[in-house]
Amino acid sequence: MSEKSNRELVERYIRAIIEADLDTQDRLRHADYVSEWPQSGERVRGTANARAILDHYPGGLKGARVDKKELHGSEDRWA
């Protein structure tokens, strides 16, 4: 498998979120993944915990909508 640029990986991850492709999200997340939710003070650590949240999301993910408006960054920092 050829190495992909960081931008390509971020774009693929965003597509996986939009498409609710949980397996691809799992493959693309680093083992040390951390997501902080400042509004609730929660911190999600690790791919398994992130997946568990998505698998048990109230009402499921069907019908959830994610819009990619813009992607900015360089090197290893993207938003």
In a domain, 70, yes or no: no
In a domain, 67, yes or no: no
Instruction: Give the 3-state secondary structure of residue 32.
Output: coil
Instruction: Give the 3-state secondary structure of residue 20.
Output: coil
Give the pLDDT confidence of 41-60 residue by residue, as tens digits.
999 999 999 999 989 988 77
Provide DSSP, 36-74: EETTTTEEEESHHHHHHHHHT-TT-STT---------EE
Domain that holds residue 29: 6-62
Give the pLDDT confidence of 18-46 residue by residue, as tens digits.
888 999 999 999 989 999 999 999 999 99
Task: Give dist(CA 67, CA 34) in Å, integer.
Answer: 22
Domain count, the chain: 1
Task: Give dist(CA 59, CA 36) in Å, integer.
Answer: 22
